[in-house]
Amino acid sequence: MKTLPSTELLGSSQIEIHYQRPHLQEMYHISCAEDADTILRKYINPQQLDLRECFWVILLSNANRVLAISEVATGSTRGVQTNLKYIFQLALLTNASAIIVAHNHPSGNLDFSKRDVSETKKIKRLATLMDITLLDHIIITSESFVSFAQEGEM
């Protein structure tokens, strides 16, 4: 195998990505915020909702079928530091066309904070640059949820 000049100079390695999406019949379809909430609650630990803030990403195909769900950050009762780099690494690795992000409010308060709004704008801006659609940002509590898209905040 021939060694590339960049490998010799920089000591870098070749990267090869392999990905196989789930079988179509096994993939959940999301058509509204209620679907996203229902699917997310199947995968998260409900006993953690009132304990600490967590941040999740739902990775979707072009037909809004769920490719994967991942917890991308865990915080404290006061907040969670979103890991934007990790969100978009997952989106690229799964070849996602769209994403939905979600986090919980342990307090039970469903109001958007200024930080929630600014993080959503930042995620949307980055997604647009990468040709990925941010469909929604959902805030959940143990009792209910609120959707940025349904509230006209997207």
Q: Specify whether domain 28-147 bears CATH 3.30.160.160.
A: no
Measured distance CA(19)–CA(94) in Å, rounded: 7
pLDDT at 9 over 60: no
Q: How far is CA 80 from the centre of its chain?
A: 14
Chain length of the chain:
154
Mean pLDDT of the chain: 87
Q: In this predicted structure, what is the pLDDT of residue 27? A: 81
Name the least confident of 15-19, 43-47, 135-139. Answer: 15-19
Q: In this predicted structure, what is the pLDDT of residue 53? A: 92
Structure-token pair, residue 50: 């009132």
Helix residue spans in 2-83 (DSSP H): 5-10, 33-43
pLDDT at 135 over 90: yes
pLDDT at 77 over 90: no
pLDDT at 94 over 70: yes
Q: Which pLDDT tens digit goes with each residue over 31-59?
A: 999 999 999 999 988 888 888 999 999 99
Q: What percent of the chain has pLDDT over 90?
A: 67
Give the Cα-Cα-Cα angle 49, 55, 57 (nearest 5 degrees).
120
Half-sphere exposure at residue 122, Cβ-oriented, CA atoms within 13 angstroms: 12
17 burial via Cβ count (<10 Å: 0-12, 13-18, 19+): exposed
Under a CB-based contact definition with an 8 Å cutoff, are residues 127 and 134 in contact? yes
Q: pLDDT confidence of 84, banded at 50, 70, 90? A: very high
**Block residue for tokens 């039970």:** 108
Q: In this predicted structure, what is the pLDDT of residue 4? A: 56
In the chain, where the domains are located? 28-147
Q: What is the mean pLDDT of residues 67-87?
A: 87
